Structure 1
């Protein structure tokens, strides 16, 4: 009988394998193990990347909110209202929302909703899910048709109210606007 000696690196020893078939079985198991490990590593990287993206999005929002706070004379309480998903309680809070919508491109320089950009944001948040995008398209279309104030600050508040109402009408209660 022919034996093949294979070193065991982890334990500092070695094993003897009796046949070619046995060595092929071990090699096959090791290959499956390595492929599984590689898949888990890729999956883990995707999960970590998702968390990093969410954190980056929050950081980007807060940075833009701080800039808009400075540009509009807003207060920390106005940012707190946004984070708590409450309507703006001050004129400066409404203007901060307008500023943010403009910084994200969702409101153009005329104070009107940019439905192409709004759809792009919806696609990012829904990860392109077709059923969710159908709802997003309906929400954006309804709010785009809204006759809003010529005052950009008031218009932003009206659009955000419309988004919330339309989302609720479509069965979506928890939405970040």
Structure 2
């Protein structure tokens, strides 16, 4: 499988550019796109995280149809431990933080965090439709395991429990979960 990682994290991409890029990616022999959308799509799970340039789900769904027409299999990527700044910088989600002064890492010991991420995974699955793979991120979570609720626990166990709980939601749908490997090495 040749996967192209399309990261909407740092820039707002125009639809015409993305369509051209996807055509080039398909012509180069890629057969899948890892979609890291973050707040560039308006999510019902956390609509206040959207930007003025965020795509509606309907508009993104049209892009997915186009991408599938190019024989590019979609693989959504949702950051479920680190890289949560666009969520936890919002006052409504400050309680999700691993550290009160930083918005980069979720505290995975909080049941409300896992509930929130499960709802979001469900929303991703509904938007993307039929999927074989789903990426749960999990990388570069440098503050992971440092809060009072987490610090007394083994970080690897904590990480495994969190990822496995979210992965179980995907396996129920017959979707194979994936993660980045840096936090488990």
Higher relative CO (Cα under 8 Å, sequence separation at least 6) belongs to 2
When Rg is computed on C-alpha atoms for both structures, the one with the higher figure is 1
Under a length normalisation based on structure 1, what TM-score does the superposition of the two structures give?
A: 0.27
Higher strand proportion, which one? 2
